[in-house]
Amino acid sequence: MNAQKKKLVLIGNGMAGVRTIEHLLKLAPDKYEITIFGSEPHPNYNRIMLSSVLVGGADMKEIVINDWSWYQENNITLHTGDPVTKIDTDKKMVYSKNGHKVAYDEVIFATGSKAFILPLPGADKEGVIGFRDIADCEKMIDASKQYKKAVVIGGGLLGLEAARGLLHLGMDVNVVHINPYLMNLQLDEAASKMLQRELEAQGMKFLLQKSTVNIKGKKRATGLVFSDGTEVDADLVVMAVGIRPEVELARASGLTVNRGIVVDDFLRTDLPNVYAVGECAEHRGITYGLVAPLYDQGAVLAKLLAGANSDPYTGSVTSTKLKVSGVDVFSAGSFKETPTTRSLKLQDDLAGTYKKLVIENGKLVGAVLFGDTSEGSELFSLIKKGESIEGREKELLLGFSPSQGGGGSSPEARLKAMPDDEIICGCNGVSKATVADAILSKGCNSVSAIKSCTKASASCGGCKPLVEGLLSIYSDGSGEAVKEGICGCTSLDRDEIVAEIKRMKLTNINEVINVLEWKNSEGCSKCRPALNYYLGMLYPDEYIDEKESRITNERYHANIQKDGTFSVVPRIYGGVTSPSELKKIAEVAEKYEVPLVKFTGGQRLDLLGVKKEDLPKMWEDLDMPSGHAYGKTLRTVKTCVGNTFCRFGTQDAMGMGIKLEKAFERLNTPAKVKIAVSGCPRNCAEASIKDFGVIAIDGGWELHVGGNGGVKVRATDVIGVVKTEDEVMEWGHAFLQLYREEASWNERTAHWIERVGLDYVKQKLEKQEDRLALMERIKHTLSLTTDPWKEIVEKDELRKNFEPLKSTQPATL
């Protein structure tokens, strides 16, 4: 039987080549006797996941795509750790390093790329590596056990993912980038700057516009020297400055090679029976560096080899997503503006989101998303289809359904309205219809079942939230139907997570993610801060706050402004200050040349335009507590003058407000909390739009909850009337602790009350014994808090995070 089979040799046991074989085996399982040669000593693995391995999100075993048994089961002869060294295209023979000689009828080059190593003096020293394979990954992990300082050259996708991994491994990481802004091949300046700020807050340091000219050190690298004479120390140098197709063997074999091995629309080289697929192939002048186009190529080549009809491969539009936890970045198509394009941009510095659409001739040709990438696949689909979006541009920018026929803007509505042929999984080219069919006809009732059945979510994992969404839409509930979790990483909702943390006594974020089997093993920018909050709320004594999982403002204890400077708001209890305090603030503002001093809506003084490195010095000079104007915590207690001066006042509004502010300052809450106290029902302090509002009445106080200003105003509900200041304090403590214990992270009191109902809140606070129990718990938590400004001022290791980069001393050479 074997005698009738044709001989097929695949050179390169990587992602594109083996995917081609997988397709071929489905189409023509008995047509070929297959031999695969791979330089690496491993079975075929998911190179994309090396970034996850570095951050501890996957181990080497988990990234194997086809294990040894797959080759056996499919009668494939596999030679690993054995590169092909020569091909005789006349005799149709392949020769390997270990001495194997194999005849072929058809041979495929799938040799991928190699990391481009800058040809610098010193590039051959120990400790200088690329980031391409398992061996590189192991070198980084080993280096981190012995050395402290890492430098990554290249601020592209690979460089940033490597840098994130090295940070996770405990190294001090500088990223050296030749351009003024990061990911310049994928992002515009605005998105890039937002990205930089977020990564800096995670601890990454950047040396931009630096061109390396030399790698210092004797045997092992000790640092880099730049063209401007400055230097940086390094025990490990990772080069991530792009890739070069692996084409030497092809060139030596007489194939036409430019940057890659030149192929036609059916992946044929210019020699008969020789094909090339993947990163090593150059199609219509383009070599690709992402799996989606390579898999498209593989599908076309597999059909050709199987003798099936196939459309030609005509090229691909690409999209990318950075795989760094806590940062959502998406880029697709041509994001650069040209004289023939128009662009629409939406930037929200408070929410940390950015969206840019690039339009040419009425069609969407490019998109950049930062902070919220949930619309990425729909935008990418529109780019690929090339249909006109005229008249819908603004709707698309504002996030309404781009799909024909509308459908609303919730993720579920958008998924429902999505056309059947829309691609859900870009890496593997899986459409909505294919996923729906897997659920409805093939009984796939979990993401992993859909993954085995269709390959959707099997590569970068970026499409998992969409797959889950389809599962919840189409599943009939008979199996493991996935409901809406707190984010795409899990199907568990807030209450289930909190209950599981308590039941299993889970103590840190990674433990929760692992034990509760998150689909994305690193978590994301939605779940990590939420888990950080829940764990801190549940275990105030033991839990160590994970700074990395906080939003930027909370990490710097100041609000970041759109130009990258910060604002400083010192605590002024109840908005009541004094001439000496005002003088001190004025002196500090002058000393640090603060460009703008402004009163906030909450009656505080805001010093705007402060440089990051000046923050600790200013806090030290101010010698005032942090006003926490940046966090999910008590912001301000606004007061009117009350009966102290106002002729209408019935109670001491200022005194009450100061008491409340002193009690609750520094409290961690699910979302920001604002309080106000008015001295009479005229309500000059606007207590009826605050989270907790206190309004004086004759002989007592009216207590209000769940108010909200902002985009959607909600007036408060009254939960009670009390007589004394002590009772106000009791109810205030109890209400805030109930909110802390029961609301979802990022849920304001207004939304929480709308969700659970006012009656529920009232009933929970009705009995004094319950109020006192809540009060005891919140007081205990409050007793453990410290002032963050003071802590940073007093601790050198914390102050260092605010220092400008030290790595620009003059060269000593």
Ligand X SMILES: Cc1cc2nc3c(=O)[nH]c(=O)nc-3n(C[C@H](O)[C@H](O)[C@H](O)COP(=O)(O)OP(=O)(O)OC[C@H]3O[C@@H](n4cnc5c(N)ncnc54)[C@H](O)[C@@H]3O)c2cc1C
Check the annotation: does 453 bind a ligand. Answer: no
**369 — phi, psi (to 5°)?**
-125, 140
- Based on the shown chain and the rule CB under 6 A, indicate whether residue 118 belongs to the binding site for ligand NAD: yes
Q: Is residue 684 a contact residue for ligand SF4 (CB under 6 A)?
A: yes
Burial label, 271 (beta-carbon count in 10 A; 0-12, 13-18, 19+) = middle
Stretch that binds ligand SF4, among 22-30, 383-391, 638-646, 769-777 (CB under 6 A): 638-646
Residue 683 touches which member of ligand SF4, ligand X, ligand FES, none, C-beta under 5-8 Å by kind: ligand SF4
Contact between 323 and ligand NAD by CB under 6 A: the answer reads yes
- 795 contact, one of ligand NAD, ligand SF4, ligand FES, none, CB 5-8 Å limit per kind: none
Q: How far is the CB of 82 from ligand X (least distance, A)?
A: 7
Q: Should residue 373 be labelled a site residue for ligand NAD when binding is judged by CB under 6 A?
A: no
Task: Residue 426: name its binding partner from ligand NAD, ligand X, ligand FES, none (Cβ under 5 to 8 Å by kind).
Answer: ligand FES
Task: Count CB atoms within 10 A of the CB of residue 808.
Answer: 14
246 contact choice in ligand X, ligand SF4, ligand FES, none (CB below 5 to 8 Å, kind-dependent): ligand X
Q: How far is CA 142 from CA 115, 148, 171, 172, in A?
A: 20, 11, 12, 15
Cα–Cα dist 53/63, whole Å: 8
Contacts of 647 (CB under 8 A, 6+ apart): none
Q: Is 459 in the site for ligand FES (CB under 6 A)?
A: yes
Return the SS3 of 701.
strand
Does position 242 interact with ligand NAD (CB under 6 A)? The reply is yes
Alpha carbon 636 to its chain centroid, in Å, reads: 31
**Which backbone phi and psi does 212 adopt, to 5 degrees?**
-75, 135
Site string for ligand FES, 376-415 (x = CB under 6 A): ----------------------------------------
* Rounded CA separation 242/177 (Å): 12
CB proximity list for 28: less than 8 A, separation 6 or greater:
305, 306, 307, 308
Q: Quick one: which of 130, 461, 469, 788 contacts ligand FES (CB under 6 A)?
A: 461
User: Which residues of 657-804 form beta strands (DSSP E)?
Assistant: 673-678, 692-697, 700-705, 717-722
Q: Hey, which bits of 371-444 come out as E strands?
A: 423-425, 430-431
Rounded to a whole number of angstroms, the minimum distance from the CB of residue 154 to ligand FES is 22
Contact 761, 719 (CB under 8 A): yes
Report in angstroms how near the CB of residue 92 gets to ligand X at its nearest: 17
| Closest by Cα among 680, 660, 625, 667 to 793 | 625
Interatomic CA distance for residues 287 and 276, integer angstroms = 11
Annotated binding residue at 427? no
Binding of ligand SF4 by 678 (CB under 6 A): yes
Tokens 């999910």 correspond to 632
11 with 18: CB under 8 angstroms? no
CB-closest chain residue to ligand SF4: 679
Stretches 24-32, 444-452, 479-487, 639-647: which one binds ligand SF4 (CB under 6 A)?
A: 639-647
| Cα dihedral 454, 458, 462, 466 sign | positive
Residue 460 is labelled as binding a ligand: no
Beta-bridge partner residues of 101: 95
Pairwise CA distance, residues 327 & 603, whole Å: 33
DSSP-assigned letter for residue 125:
S
422 HSE (CA, 13 A, CB side): 26
Binding site for ligand X (CB under 6 A): 11-17, 37-40, 47-48, 50-51, 83-84, 110-113, 131-132, 158, 161, 246, 249, 278-279, 289-292, 294, 323, 427, 460
Partner from ligand NAD, ligand SF4, ligand X, none binding residue 680, C-beta < 5-8 Å depending on class = ligand SF4
- Looking from the CA of 119 toward its CB, the CA atoms found within 13 Å total 0
Nearest approach, Cβ of 12 to ligand X (angstroms)?
A: 3
Nearer to ligand FES, 439 or 458 (CB): 458
**One symbol per residue from 243 to 282: x for binding ligand NAD (CB under 6 A), - otherwise; what is it?**
x---------------------------------------
Q: Which residue's beta carbon is nearest to the bound ligand X?
A: 14
Task: Give whichever of 17 and 602 is closer to ligand X, judged by the CB atom.
Answer: 17
Site for ligand NAD contains 128 (CB under 6 A): no
CB of 163 to ligand X, least distance (A): 12
Q: Does 525 bind ligand FES (CB under 6 A)?
A: no
Flag whether 684 is marked binding. yes
Strand (E) or helix (H) holding 364:
strand 363-370
Residues 145-164 that bind ligand NAD (CB under 6 A): 153-159, 161
Does 646 bind ligand SF4 (CB under 6 A)? Our answer is: yes
- Using the contact rule CB under 6 A, the part of the chain among 279-287, 433-441, 675-683, 801-809 near ligand SF4 is 675-683
Asked if 224 and 212 touch (Cβ cutoff 8 Å), the reply is yes
Q: Of the two residues 78 and 358, which places its CB atom closer to ligand X in the complex?
A: 78
Instruction: Give alpha helix (H) positions in 61-132.
Output: 68-73
Nearest in space to 381 (alpha carbons), one of 446, 307, 449, 432 = 432
CB nearer to ligand X: give 298 or 536. 298
List of residues contacting ligand FES (CB under 6 A): 425-428, 456-463
Q: Which residues are annotated as a binding site?
A: 640, 646, 680, 684
